[in-house]
Homo-oligomer: A and B are copies of this chain.
Amino acid sequence: MAAVDLTSHPGHLARRLQQAHHLLWNTMVSEEITSSQFAVLNTLVAEPGLDQRTVGERVGLDRSTIAEVISRLGRRGLLDKVRDPRDGRRFLLRLTDDGVRTHRRLTVRTARMNQVFLAPLSAEEQAQLLGLIQRVADAAEGLRDPAEPLITR
């Protein structure tokens, strides 16, 4: 009977948090555009002409995943993809007018959704939560590269 209390496991809570978010996103923001796709649109609004890899880096997706997300957005006509004439390996990405419009429309709804999502917390607690998550995530991402493995056998 060595079972553990899952509510003390950050991984489990992180998954539940994301599920909760996904649920709210679907009902309050969009059923077509996902949260990740919105993040890509948002990045390209700020920095048009980025290449695929850099967009992935900005939103925190590896190159395989970002490729799929982008191809889906391309298929829907929300962005264009052209070979970089200066570097034949890269694709340069740019939103279409439709992409820009979609981004603008969703931005409003996203803000509203975030409000509802965080409503159970006071303004102070909201800031705390975001800050704490960020610190943990940043630290873990910093552990990616180091040569020495993490496994403490």
Contact = CB atoms under 8 A, between A and B. Distances in A.
Interface of A: 1-4, 6-25, 27-28, 35-36, 39, 42-43, 45-46, 59-60, 103-104, 107, 110, 112, 114, 116-121, 125, 128-130, 132-141, 143-144, 149-152
A119 B11 CA distance: 14
A137 B28 contact: no
A143 B23 contact: yes
Contacts of A143: 23-24
Given A15-B35, A24-B143, A27-B149, A130 B2 contact: no
A128 B118 contact: no
Given A45-B1, A119-B139, A132-B132, A11 B15 contact: no
Closest 6 CB pairs of A and B: A20-B140, A3-B46, A120-B139, A11-B21, A129-B132, A16-B137
26 contacts: A3-B42, A4-B42, A6-B42, A10-B117, A10-B129, A11-B21, A11-B35, A11-B117, A12-B59, A13-B137, A14-B14, A14-B18, A15-B35, A16-B141, A17-B136, A20-B137, A23-B140, A23-B143, A23-B144, A24-B140, A24-B150, A27-B149, A117-B140, A120-B139, A121-B132, A129-B132
Contact of A110 (B9, B36, B135): B9
